[in-house]
Amino acid sequence: MSKDTVGDGVVVSMEYTLHVDGELLDSSDGQGPLQFLVGYGNIISGLEEEMRGMKIGDSKDVVVQPKDGYGEFDDEAFMQVPRNDFPKEMPVEVDAELTVRDNEGNARYARVESIEDDTVTLNFNHPLAGDELHFHVKVVALREPTDEELDHGHVHEAGHHH
Protein backbone atom coordinates (compact mmCIF):
# COMPACT_ATOMS: atom_id res chain seq x y z
CA MET A 1 0.00 0.00 0.00
CA SER A 2 1.43 3.35 -0.98
CA LYS A 3 2.11 5.99 1.62
CA ASP A 4 1.65 8.93 -0.73
CA THR A 5 -2.00 9.50 0.12
CA VAL A 6 -3.93 9.82 3.36
CA GLY A 7 -5.45 6.47 4.30
CA ASP A 8 -5.73 3.91 7.10
CA GLY A 9 -2.50 3.20 8.92
CA VAL A 10 -0.66 6.26 7.64
CA VAL A 11 0.76 8.91 9.95
CA VAL A 12 -0.27 12.31 8.64
CA SER A 13 1.36 15.59 9.60
CA MET A 14 -1.03 18.43 8.94
CA GLU A 15 -1.14 22.14 9.37
CA TYR A 16 -4.61 23.36 10.19
CA THR A 17 -6.81 26.15 11.36
CA LEU A 18 -10.21 25.78 12.97
CA HIS A 19 -12.86 28.48 12.74
CA VAL A 20 -16.24 28.40 14.45
CA ASP A 21 -18.73 31.15 13.66
CA GLY A 22 -15.98 33.04 11.86
CA GLU A 23 -13.68 33.05 14.88
CA LEU A 24 -10.25 31.38 14.85
CA LEU A 25 -10.30 28.84 17.69
CA ASP A 26 -7.31 26.66 17.02
CA SER A 27 -4.33 26.49 14.73
CA SER A 28 -1.12 24.54 14.27
CA ASP A 29 0.73 27.85 13.92
CA GLY A 30 3.44 28.12 16.49
CA GLN A 31 3.13 24.55 17.70
CA GLY A 32 4.06 22.73 14.52
CA PRO A 33 1.97 20.34 12.47
CA LEU A 34 -0.42 17.97 14.19
CA GLN A 35 0.43 14.31 13.65
CA PHE A 36 -2.22 11.64 13.72
CA LEU A 37 -2.60 8.01 12.74
CA VAL A 38 -5.45 7.54 10.27
CA GLY A 39 -8.17 5.01 11.06
CA TYR A 40 -7.85 4.96 14.84
CA GLY A 41 -10.16 7.76 15.89
CA ASN A 42 -7.26 10.07 16.77
CA ILE A 43 -9.11 13.05 15.32
CA ILE A 44 -12.80 13.72 14.83
CA SER A 45 -14.34 11.43 12.24
CA GLY A 46 -15.75 14.13 10.00
CA LEU A 47 -12.33 15.63 9.40
CA GLU A 48 -10.57 12.31 9.01
CA GLU A 49 -13.03 11.10 6.38
CA GLU A 50 -12.66 14.26 4.32
CA MET A 51 -8.87 13.99 4.33
CA ARG A 52 -8.68 10.50 2.86
CA GLY A 53 -6.92 10.48 -0.49
CA MET A 54 -5.14 13.80 0.03
CA LYS A 55 -1.48 13.98 -0.96
CA ILE A 56 1.47 15.89 0.47
CA GLY A 57 1.04 19.57 -0.33
CA ASP A 58 -2.73 19.27 -0.79
CA SER A 59 -4.86 21.66 1.18
CA LYS A 60 -8.60 21.61 1.67
CA ASP A 61 -11.42 23.42 3.40
CA VAL A 62 -13.57 21.02 5.37
CA VAL A 63 -16.86 21.79 7.10
CA VAL A 64 -17.70 19.25 9.79
CA GLN A 65 -21.25 18.97 11.10
CA PRO A 66 -21.76 18.49 14.88
CA LYS A 67 -22.64 14.80 14.56
CA ASP A 68 -19.26 14.13 12.92
CA GLY A 69 -17.46 16.54 15.26
CA TYR A 70 -18.01 17.02 18.95
CA GLY A 71 -21.63 15.93 19.02
CA GLU A 72 -24.93 17.72 19.18
CA PHE A 73 -25.63 20.02 22.10
CA ASP A 74 -27.35 17.99 24.80
CA ASP A 75 -29.83 19.91 26.94
CA GLU A 76 -29.75 17.07 29.45
CA ALA A 77 -25.98 17.22 29.95
CA PHE A 78 -26.16 19.49 32.98
CA MET A 79 -25.77 18.62 36.61
CA GLN A 80 -26.31 20.59 39.79
CA VAL A 81 -23.72 20.03 42.47
CA PRO A 82 -23.45 21.55 45.93
CA ARG A 83 -20.44 23.87 46.20
CA ASN A 84 -19.30 21.82 49.19
CA ASP A 85 -18.76 18.79 46.94
CA PHE A 86 -15.82 20.53 45.29
CA PRO A 87 -12.39 20.64 46.90
CA LYS A 88 -11.90 23.95 48.64
CA GLU A 89 -8.81 24.77 46.58
CA MET A 90 -10.62 24.19 43.28
CA PRO A 91 -11.39 27.49 41.55
CA VAL A 92 -15.12 27.28 40.94
CA GLU A 93 -16.30 30.22 38.89
CA VAL A 94 -18.51 30.63 35.85
CA ASP A 95 -16.81 29.29 32.70
CA ALA A 96 -14.13 27.53 34.73
CA GLU A 97 -13.22 24.22 33.14
CA LEU A 98 -13.07 21.24 35.47
CA THR A 99 -12.44 17.55 35.23
CA VAL A 100 -14.87 15.61 37.37
CA ARG A 101 -15.19 11.89 37.91
CA ASP A 102 -18.50 10.17 37.30
CA ASN A 103 -19.84 7.22 39.27
CA GLU A 104 -17.79 4.79 37.18
CA GLY A 105 -14.65 6.79 37.95
CA ASN A 106 -14.28 8.10 34.41
CA ALA A 107 -12.89 11.60 34.06
CA ARG A 108 -15.42 13.89 32.42
CA TYR A 109 -14.85 17.37 31.16
CA ALA A 110 -17.23 19.95 32.57
CA ARG A 111 -17.64 23.70 32.47
CA VAL A 112 -19.25 25.75 35.20
CA GLU A 113 -22.43 27.13 33.65
CA SER A 114 -23.73 29.10 36.61
CA ILE A 115 -23.46 29.42 40.37
CA GLU A 116 -26.45 30.23 42.54
CA ASP A 117 -26.05 30.45 46.27
CA ASP A 118 -24.37 27.17 47.12
CA THR A 119 -25.36 25.29 43.98
CA VAL A 120 -23.04 24.94 41.02
CA THR A 121 -24.49 23.98 37.63
CA LEU A 122 -22.06 22.00 35.49
CA ASN A 123 -22.32 21.70 31.72
CA PHE A 124 -20.90 18.44 30.38
CA ASN A 125 -21.24 19.38 26.73
CA HIS A 126 -17.96 19.73 24.88
CA PRO A 127 -17.35 23.47 24.30
CA LEU A 128 -17.76 22.83 20.56
CA ALA A 129 -20.83 20.60 20.84
CA GLY A 130 -23.49 21.67 18.37
CA ASP A 131 -21.03 23.80 16.43
CA GLU A 132 -20.23 23.57 12.75
CA LEU A 133 -16.45 23.27 12.51
CA HIS A 134 -14.66 24.99 9.64
CA PHE A 135 -11.21 23.49 9.12
CA HIS A 136 -8.55 24.46 6.66
CA VAL A 137 -6.03 21.65 6.46
CA LYS A 138 -2.81 21.10 4.61
CA VAL A 139 -0.96 17.80 4.45
CA VAL A 140 2.74 18.48 5.01
CA ALA A 141 4.09 14.95 5.48
CA LEU A 142 3.07 11.30 5.36
CA ARG A 143 4.95 8.37 6.84
CA GLU A 144 4.52 4.81 7.94
CA PRO A 145 3.85 4.34 11.65
CA THR A 146 6.29 2.49 13.87
CA ASP A 147 5.22 -0.92 15.16
CA GLU A 148 4.70 0.62 18.57
CA GLU A 149 2.46 3.35 17.19
CA LEU A 150 0.36 0.80 15.33
CA ASP A 151 0.22 -1.30 18.47
CA HIS A 152 -1.02 1.61 20.55
CA GLY A 153 -3.18 3.12 17.83
CA HIS A 154 -1.77 6.63 18.10
CA VAL A 155 1.32 8.65 17.30
CA HIS A 156 4.15 8.87 19.81
CA GLU A 157 5.67 12.29 19.57
CA ALA A 158 7.57 14.46 21.94
CA GLY A 159 5.83 17.60 23.02
CA HIS A 160 2.19 18.53 23.25
CA HIS A 161 -0.72 16.16 23.49
CA HIS A 162 -4.29 16.95 22.55
Q: For the whole model, what pTM was predicted?
A: 0.80
Tell me if 11-70+130-152 shares its fold with 78-123: no
Domain boundaries, the chain: 11-70+130-152, 78-123
pLDDT in tens, 37-86: 999 999 999 999 999 999 999 999 999 999 999 999 999 999 999 999 98
Task: Provide DSSP, 79-130.
Answer: EEEEGGGS-TTS---TT-EEEEE-TT--EEEEEEEEEETTEEEEE-S-TTTT
For domain 78-123, the CATH class is: mainly beta
Amino acid at 30: G
Bridge partners for 17 per DSSP: 27, 136
pLDDT in tens, 5-35: 999 999 999 999 999 999 999 999 989 999 9
Q: Which CATH architecture has domain 11-70+130-152?
A: Roll (3.10)
Backbone angles phi and psi of 147, in degrees to 5 = -60, -40
User: What is the reported pLDDT for 156?
Assistant: 81
